[in-house]
Amino acid sequence: GIQVEQSPPDLILQEGANSTLRCNFSDSVNNLQWFHQNPWGQLINLFYIPSGTKQNGRLSATTVATERYSLLYISSSQTTDSGVYFCAVVILTGGGNKLTFGTGTQLKVEL
Amino acid sequence: SAVISQKPSRDICQRGTSLTIQCQVDSQVTMMFWYRQQPGQSLTLIATANQGSEATYESGFVIDKFPISRPNLTFSTLTVSNMSPEDSSIYLCSVGTTGSGKLFFGSGTQLSVL
Q: What is the nearest CA distance from B103 to chain A, expressed in angstroms? A: 7
Q: Which residue of B32, B34, B38, B43 is the best one to mutate when testing the A interface, meaning the one whose CB has the most A CBs within 10 A?
A: B43
Strand, helix or coil at A100? strand
Judged against a pLDDT cut of 90, whether residue A84 lies above it is answered with yes
CA distance B8 to A101: 24
Q: Is the pLDDT of residue A37 over 90?
A: yes
Beta bridge partners of A85: A36, A105
- Structure confidence at residue B102 (pLDDT): 85
Mean pLDDT over residues B77-95, rounded?
A: 97
Residue A94's pLDDT band (boundaries 50, 70, 90)?
A: low
- The burial of A94, by beta-carbon neighbours within 10 Å (0-12 exposed, 13-18 middle, 19 or more buried), is given as exposed
Q: Do A45 and B102 touch (CB under 8 A)?
A: yes
Establish if A43 touches chain B: CB-CB under 8 angstroms: yes
Within 8 A of A34 by CB-CB distance, chain B residues are none
Write out the DSSP string of chain B.
---EEEE-SEEEE-TT--EEEEEEESS--SEEEEEEE-TT--EEEEEEEPTTS--EEPTT--TTTS-EEEEETTEEEEEE-S--GGG-EEEEEEEE-TTT--EEE---EEEEE-
**Amino acid B31: pLDDT:** 86
Rounded CA-CA distance B17/A108 in Å is 37
CATH of domain B17-96: 2.60.40.10
Q: Return the top range by mean pLDDT from A95-99, B1-5, B37-41, B95-99.
A: B37-41
Q: How confident is the model at residue A91 (pLDDT cuts 50, 70, 90)?
A: confident
Q: What is the pLDDT of residue A82?
A: 96
Of chain B residues 17-36, which have a CB less than 8 A from chain A? 31, 33
* SS3 state of residue A79: helix
Amino acid at B93: C
Answer whether A4's CB lies under 8 Å from A103's CB.
Answer: yes
Determine how many CB atoms are found less than 10 A away from the CB of residue A68.
17
Q: Is A86 on the interface with B (CB under 8 A)?
A: yes
Domains and CATH numbers, chain A: 4-110 (2.60.40.10)
Interface check for B61 against chain A (CB to CB < 8 A): the answer is no
Could you tell me which chain A residue has the CA closest to the CA of B34? A98
* Per-residue pLDDT, A18: 97
Average pLDDT, rounded, for chain B: 93
Give yes or no for A48 touching B (CB within 8 A): yes
Q: Is the pLDDT of residue B12 over 70?
A: yes
More confident residue, A1 or B40: B40
How much is the average pLDDT of A99-109?
A: 96
In the structure, what pLDDT confidence band is assigned to residue A40 with cuts at 50, 70 and 90? Answer: confident
For residue A25, the SS3 value is strand
The pLDDT mean for chain A works out to 93
Q: Does A28 touch chain B (CB under 8 A)?
A: no
Q: What is the mean pLDDT of residues B88-100?
A: 88
Measured distance CA(A107)–CA(A21) in Å, rounded: 10
**pLDDT of B87 strictly over 80:** yes
